[in-house]
């Protein structure tokens, strides 16, 4: 069974620790991560938004864990190096290619957001397979058949958000929910993906659930 610890998920910050040794996203304070930092072997980053990429925390990690391995798309390399991360410690991913770290294999997957973004499939030899995908409009062309753990964005209910948009437009207000529709995954799309892929023993967790006032 894959162990997961969701430190935070949502627009206030994102960070998930897998099997005590892998950190996915780093959008929270260093203080929140401090109890886990000594065990980490790998940090996987998705995109540049501050709720996933906390520059202060990443700078402190580069100082206090100088040998920590990083994995990310090419769009984050310059920013990481600027924060003090040794470029030799960064694996620059290509989509849909498998990368072996001994403790696991990692497959980056392309996600549709308003900046370059990726999710991850992670395969462990003994505890199973998982997928992590947040901040995406869709999961088209992606599959994770009979995986053991699904950490998937379920940002909003379609009917509820459409009604908010209608009400705001009728009163002449700015409907930030239109931005949410373009950049995030609905619960309906999340459920469809899970139901098409999950096996009898799979576990799923709704991630990055939308709250009023978030864009």
Domain ranges of the chain: 4-155+185-207
Q: How far apart are CA 148 and CA 130, in angstroms?
A: 6
Per-residue pLDDT tens digits for 69-81: 999 999 999 999 9
Terminal alpha carbon distance of the chain: 34
Tell me if 208 sits within 8 A of 10, measured CB to CB: yes
Residue 164 has a pLDDT of 75
Q: Which fold has domain 4-155+185-207?
A: Metallo-beta-lactamase; Chain A (3.60.15)
pLDDT for 94 beyond 80: yes
Strands 42-44 and 22-24: parallel
pLDDT for 173 beyond 80: no
Q: H or E element: which one contains 174? A: none
Mean pLDDT of 176-187: 81
Decide which of 63 and 168 is more confident. 63
Q: Is 88 exposed, middle or buried (0-12, 13-18, 19+ CB in 10 A)?
A: exposed
Per-residue pLDDT tens digits for 20-35: 999 999 999 999 999 9
What length does the chain have?
215
Which residues, in sequence order, are CB contacts of 76 under 8 Å at separation 6+? Answer: 45, 47, 48, 53
Confidence of residue 215 (pLDDT cuts 50, 70, 90): very low
Tally of CB atoms within 10 A around 160 = 12
Residue 211 has a pLDDT of 62
Tell me if 110 sits within 8 A of 74, measured CB to CB: no
Q: What is the residue-averaged pLDDT of the chain? A: 92
Residue 181 has a pLDDT of 76
Contacts for 88-93 with beta carbons within 8 Å, 24 or more apart?
A: 93/118
* DSSP summary character for residue 98: -
Per-residue pLDDT tens digits for 149-158: 999 999 887 7
Residue 132 has a pLDDT of 98
Report the candidate in 108, 212, 118 with the shortest Cα–Cα distance to residue 165: 212
pLDDT more than 70, % of the chain = 94
Per the structure block, which two tokens stand in for 87? 């470029």
Per the structure block, which two tokens stand in for 161? 């958000």
């Amino acid at each position: 069974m894959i162990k997961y610890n969701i430190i935070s998920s949502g627009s206030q910050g994102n960070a998930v620790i897998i099997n005590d040794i892998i950190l996915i996203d780093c959008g929270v304070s260093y203080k929140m991560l401090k109890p886990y930092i000594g065990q980490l072997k790998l940090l996987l980053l998705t995109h540049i938004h501050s709720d996933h990429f906390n520059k202060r925390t990443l700078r402190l990690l580069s100082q206090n864990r100088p040998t920590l391995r990083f994995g990310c798309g090419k769009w984050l390399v310059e920013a990481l190096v600027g924060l003090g991360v040794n470029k030799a410690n960064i694996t620059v991913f290509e989509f849909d290619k498998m990368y072996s770290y001994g403790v696991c294999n990692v497959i980056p997957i392309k996600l549709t957001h308003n900046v370059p973004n990726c999710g991850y499939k992670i395969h462990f030899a003994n505890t199973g397979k998982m997928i992590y995908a947040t901040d995406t409009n869709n999961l088209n062309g992606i599959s994770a058949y009979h995986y053991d753990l699904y950490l998937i964005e379920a940002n909003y209910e379609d009917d509820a958000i459409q009604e908010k948009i209608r009400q705001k437009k009728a009163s002449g207000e700015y409907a930030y929910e239109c931005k949410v529709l373009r950049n995030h995954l609905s619960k309906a799309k999340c459920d469809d993906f899970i139901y098409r892929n999950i096996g009898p023993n799979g576990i799923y967790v709704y991630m990055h659930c939308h709250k009023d006032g978030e864009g």
